């Protein structure tokens, strides 16, 4: 059975380098970006003002400079928003 891909419909970047995400099915999840901040191109997001420019585009989270993360990565590597935030 093929896994359904869910688009991101809302994002709230947080000062701790996490993203509060809402997916098209209404599910709210938290994605912690810290493990990616040493890797190109995400190392540019270490600067908090730049990280806070996150917005939704093309069904995922995007930043200026063509930085984005696949929506399936955001979903698979995030946790439900009610789990200890």
Query: Is a pLDDT exceeding 70 seen at residue 2?
Result: no
pLDDT of residue 4: 75
Q: Are 51 and 67 in contact (CB under 8 A)?
A: no
Instruction: Give how far the C-alpha of residue 50 lies from the chain's centroid of Cα atoms, to the nearest Å.
Output: 14
32-64: per-residue pLDDT in tens?
999 999 999 999 999 999 999 999 999 999 999
Helix (H, G, I), strand (E, B) or coil at 33: coil
Q: How far apart are CA 44 and CA 9, in angstroms?
A: 24
């Amino acid at each position: 059975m093929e896994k359904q891909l869910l688009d991101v419909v809302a994002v709230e970047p947080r000062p701790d380098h996490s993203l509060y995400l809402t997916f098209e099915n209404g599910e709210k999840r938290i994605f912690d970006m810290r493990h990616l901040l040493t890797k190109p191109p995400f190392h540019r997001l270490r600067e908090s003002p730049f990280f806070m420019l996150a917005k939704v585009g093309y069904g995922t989270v995007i930043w200026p400079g063509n930085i984005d993360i696949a929506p399936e990565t955001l979903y698979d590597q995030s946790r439900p928003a009610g789990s200890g935030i």
